[in-house]
Amino acid sequence: LDFDFFAHLGDVSCGASTTTPEMIESQIEGYLEYFREAKGNIPVFIAIGNHDPGIYYHNAVADGTIYTLDGDYLYKNFTGRSASRDTVFGGAENGGYCYRDFNDKKLRVFLLNTSEKIVAAQLDKATYGAQRVWFANALLDLNSKADASDWGFIVLSHYPADYGRNMPLSELLKAYVTGTSFTITDPVNADWAGDGTSMSINFANKNNAKFISQFHGHVHNFKTSKLYSYATGSGV
């Protein structure tokens, strides 16, 4: 097969309460070695899933020790990597999100980290405000191309964009499609302390590139659907 890139949408590891950090690293590195043997010269996008950082192992540690695989390790082995590591535009260093342009296909492929966590609280299913600001600016950048109307983009992630605390990501995509403004915020409260982001993004006349689809893992089914957004406090 002559394909342009490969994507794995998260949970490379089967990390659970009995899976030690060493076992998780062995699973991740073993998987990557298999792939390098097969087709290591093409771009690879690997999303960080909720089982990959060691979150469930931490929950089982009786002495309360906090352990997750650190960002350096996950970023080195995941994200948009290839042998040449070219044309990958990352967000925060070790953030687990990036995009890559395939100019001959006029396609921008986004990889988002929908498993951003606060380690101490072990909360999941979230994209913090800084990542969503990066994503919105990357969409505006895409539409600054002279031939933006000929381009499209897809979004890769582990969780769906409308799942749990990731729902604002779906709201952002809706604002893009409808060409409206959207305020990216992060709550600061006991349940989920975000990074304090508050920024308004306006997609009016800056949405010529087509949003093609989001591809995600986690929910263990195969179907086509539409993303949900909020209306009077519930998903529609």
| Distance of alpha carbon 102 from alpha carbon 15, whole angstroms | 33
Whether 77 shows a pLDDT value over 80: the answer reads no
Q: What is the mean pLDDT of residues 3-17?
A: 83
Percent of the chain with pLDDT over 90: 34
Band (128; pLDDT cuts 50, 70, 90): confident
| Distance of alpha carbon 5 from alpha carbon 47, whole angstroms | 14
Q: What is the mean pLDDT of residues 19-47?
A: 79
Tell me if residue 26 falls in helix, strand or coil: helix
Q: What is the pTM of this model?
A: 0.88
Mean pLDDT score across all residues of the chain: 81
Q: What is the mean pLDDT of residues 132-160?
A: 96
| Distance of alpha carbon 179 from alpha carbon 202, whole angstroms | 7
Q: What is the mean pLDDT of residues 60-66?
A: 52
Q: Which of left, alpha, beta for 16 (phi over 0: left; psi -120 to 50: alpha)?
A: beta
Q: Report which of residues 127 and 60 the model is more confident about.
A: 127
Range with lowest mean pLDDT among 18-32, 175-189, 199-213: 18-32
Whether 148 shows a pLDDT value over 80: the answer reads yes
Whether 223 shows a pLDDT value over 60: the answer reads yes
